[in-house]
Amino acid sequence: MRHRLILNNITHTFEDGGIQRTVLNNLNLQVSEGELVAVMGPSGSGKSTFLSIAGALLDPKGGEVLLDGESVSDKNKQELSDIRLHKIGFIFQSANLIPYLKVEEQLTLVAKLGNMNKRKAAERIRELLDMLGLNHRRSAYPDKLSGGERQRVAIARALMNDPAVLLADEPTASLDASRGMDVVRMLAEEARELGKSAVMVTHDERVLPLCDRVLYLENGGLIERK
What whole-number percentage of the chain has pLDDT above 70?
Answer: 99
- pLDDT tens readout for residues 188-202: 988 998 899 999 999
Tell me the C-alpha distance between 193 and 166, whole Å.
Answer: 13
Find out whether 22 and 50 touch, Cβ atoms under 8 Å: no
pLDDT greater than 90 at residue 11: yes
- DSSP helix/strand/coil, 201: strand
Kindly state the percentage of the chain with pLDDT values over 90.
Answer: 57
State the average pLDDT for the chain: 90
* Structure confidence at residue 16 as a pLDDT band (50, 70, 90): confident
How confident is the model over 87-127, as pLDDT tens digits?
999 988 777 899 999 999 999 999 998 889 899 999 999 98
Phi-psi region of 43 (alpha: psi -120 to 50; beta: other; left: phi over 0): beta
The whole-number pLDDT of residue 68 equals 87
> What's the rounded mean pLDDT across residues 43-50?
90
Q: How far apart are the first and last CA of the chain?
A: 21
Task: Write down the pLDDT at residue 190.
Answer: 85
Using H for helix, E for strand and C for coil, what is the string for 30-63? EEECCEEEEEECCCCCCHHHHHHHHCCCCCCCEE
- DSSP one-letter code for 95: -
Q: Which amino acid is at 22?
A: T
Distance CA 21, CA 89 (A): 30
Neighbour count for residue 65 (Cβ, 10 Å): 22
User: Which pLDDT does position 14 carry in this prediction?
Assistant: 85
The domain spans of the chain are 3-224
Provide the CATH number for the domain formed by 3-224 in this structure.
3.40.50.300
Q: Model pTM? A: 0.89
Is 207's pLDDT higher than 80? yes
What confidence tier does 1 reach under pLDDT thresholds 50, 70, 90? low
Does residue 55 carry a pLDDT above 70? Answer: yes
135-187: pLDDT as tens digits:
999 999 999 998 888 888 988 899 898 899 999 998 888 778 887 888 888 88
